[in-house]
Chain A
Amino acid sequence: MSQLLDKLGLGFGVALTLKNFLYCLLGATLGTLVGVLPGLGPVTTIAMLLPITFKISPVASLIMLSGIYYGAHHAGSTTAIMLNMPGEPTSVVICIDGHPMARQGRAGAALCISALGSFFAGCVSVIVIALFSPPLADAALLFGAPEYTSMIIMALVTASVLSSASLITTIAMAVLGVLIGTVGTDVNSGVVRFSFGAEGLADGVSFVAVAVGLFAFAEVILHLGALEQRHRITSRIRGLLPTRADLSAAWKAILRGTAVGAGFGILPGTGPLISSFAAYALEKQIAADPSRFGNGAIEGVAGPEAANNAAALTHFIPMLTLGIPAGAAMALMLGALMIQGIAPGPQVMTQHPDLFWGVVASMWIGNMMLLVLNLPLVGVWVRLLAIPYRFLYPTILVFCCIGVYSVSNSAFDVFLAAGFGLVGYVFKRLNCAPAPLILGLVLGPVLEENLRRSLLISRGDPSVFFTRPISLAMLLLAVAFVVIFSLPALRRRREALT
């Protein structure tokens, strides 16, 4: 216990330096901005800011990027409540009961409860991360190459299973990502693979180019093709304070939501998305009067919002402790760390304790900042919604192009990003999720390395993955996930919700 306090002390020491504090504030603010504005999501923003993070320290980059991520999750509910328009996909459920509350003139109460619930969930999640990461990392240090291989396979499969598109195409996207990851110099033999003589590919496909193209450019192109939507602000926020009845109904929902979110967030894939849906379903199931739901039941706002934010933080656990990104945003952050020279994995906690604990401490600080950003300043954000997309997207494009170019002063990377923008557009139109591709790209080289080593150790015997208990357990888990989430009943439910 005292060791934990020491570590947390170290973390706060790192997070509270002026520089890191400011980056945390910047991240939280950007995240709130991005969460409120439609057409700009945390993944796009992180992809866009990746090149800038290479100029600042790894700790500061991670603090800022993580702030953007959980900040966006906090803020998505603001537009869901006010305009019946979710700022983030994870806030879709909040529209169902949050907007009716706004129409009843109780927007202030909804926003307040949602912000308080998020803050509570965030605090709990930080404690969860602090408590469970060290033992998890210690356990992972016992992993050998076969365990890593199985773990990566499990992560890729689980991430594919939990997305809403067809399972086959999603896994294919992950495989494609791994395949793209093989381009470049093979570490073992020194042979340059699939480069077609292009110098820009000799070191592999630029991860930043893929990220920016696939997420930022493709998003912009898709948005430009969609129809413009006009939004009206439903009601002015009269009073911010909820009634005592609201509070007493909501606090239990917040507790339940936090538990659900903390659990689901760890799952690779769309953990945070599923957690808000699961929390809503839970609240509706155990409510005394389920008919209130859909008409402004406060539990329908408090529970899912708490779940959403708890999950947004525990989503970091696999990435920080095991080096396995649980989603696209995590994959991008992992890529950023790798380019800065930090090899992700369980050893990060022991080799770079300032990084790990600094980020954990900054999550708590960021949560506090978000409380201020989301409550008193909510009027500012809602007014910002008036910015039309046509002013936003040229800015995005310009920053992305400059960013990609600046990584290695290479115009080739810019062309590559354009190409992946096309790829992203085509696949999005065909209902294929792009996130598994970037997951595959980031994890591919590690997978190949560990696969090679496993087969070398076992002298070509593939049963090594099945005879070692941890490895077998992970593969079985992967299979279990596929089976559970492919069951027709659950598929129909999921498709109905998403």
Chain B
Amino acid sequence: MRLRIADRKEFSAGLIFTAIGLVALGLSFEYRLGTATRMGPGFFPLCLSVLLIVLGIAAAVRGLRASMVEPLGRWPLVPLVFVMCGVIAFGLLIDWKGLAVAVLVLIVLACYQRLRSRPLEVALIAALLIAMTVGLFIYGLGMPFYLYR
């Protein structure tokens, strides 16, 4: 029997919710549950996890039996990867090397596409933004960031 999943988006969403719910359920048991009258720290998360699992299964079922076909569609991954790497790099660099380097790397990673075709443009944006943020945050607002280490 082949499963024809009509609404793939809803089905996948349902699966994700169920998975998160199951994980949360397992984790909730590590805390004291208590009773309804005197709720322990685990009680509320437990209720929420159960609710999430129920909703997740309902969504998955609905996705299975949907009348309109909704395919997953294209998911451009390149922007996702580069922006996330840029942000993570920022987080790693700002304490280690200072604001200027962190902003520079963020821009380089986030503007990867433009970098290949128009590197000068990216360099200009980077220079402008570094100047603006350093001026605004370190000198203007006096925030405790490292400029460069």
Contacts and interface: CB of A to CB of B under 8 A. Distances in A.
A119 interface: no
- Please classify how large the interface on chain B is, using the bins under 10, 10 to 19, 20 to 34, 35 or more: 35 or more
A104 to B, nearest CB: 37
B41 A409 contact: no
B52 A175 contact: yes
Mostly, the A contact residues are helix
Contacts of B110: 393-394, 397
Contacts of A166: 10, 59, 62
B64 interface: no
A175 B48 contact: yes
Contacts of A417: 87
Given A391-B125, A460-B35, A411 B80 contact: no
B55 A168 contact: yes
Nearest to B15: A430
Contact of A176 (B17, B107, B126, B144): B17
Contacts of B70: 431
Contacts of A336: none
Interface string A160-191: 00000010110110011011001000101101
Contacts of B90: 401, 405, 414
Contacts of B44: 182, 448, 451-452
A148 interface: no
Interface string A384-405: 0000001101110111011001
A401 B106 contact: yes
A397 B83 CA distance: 8
B137 A462 contact: no
Interface stretch (A219-227, A235-243, A316-324, A466-474): A219-227
Nearest to A183: B45
Contact of B106 (A182, A398, A425, A429): A398
A160 to B, nearest CB: 11
Contact of A432 (B13, B31, B111): B13
B119 interface: no
B108 to A, nearest CB: 10
Interface of B is mostly: helix
Contacts of B144: 409
A462 B35 CA distance: 12
Contacts of B38: 456
B69 interface: no
B62 A168 contact: yes
A427 B10 CA distance: 10
Contact of B87 (A399, A414, A427): A414
Interface centre among A166, A225, A417, A452 (most CB of B within 10 A): A166
B45 A390 contact: no
Contacts of B48: 175, 178-179, 182
Given A402-B99, A432-B13, A460-B36, 20 more contacts: A168-B55, A168-B58, A168-B62, A169-B17, A172-B59, A175-B55, A182-B48, A188-B41, A193-B41, A217-B87, A225-B75, A225-B76, A225-B80, A394-B110, A398-B133, A401-B87, A405-B91, A422-B84, A430-B9, A431-B9
Interface of A: 55, 166, 168-169, 171-172, 175-176, 178-179, 182, 186, 188-189, 191, 193-194, 217, 220-221, 224-225, 390-391, 393-395, 397-399, 401-402, 405-406, 409, 411-412, 414-415, 417-418, 421-422, 425-427, 429-432, 448, 451-452, 455-456, 459-460, 462
16 contacts: A169-B10, A169-B17, A169-B59, A178-B48, A179-B20, A191-B31, A193-B45, A224-B83, A391-B125, A394-B107, A397-B107, A411-B92, A412-B91, A418-B87, A418-B91, A459-B37
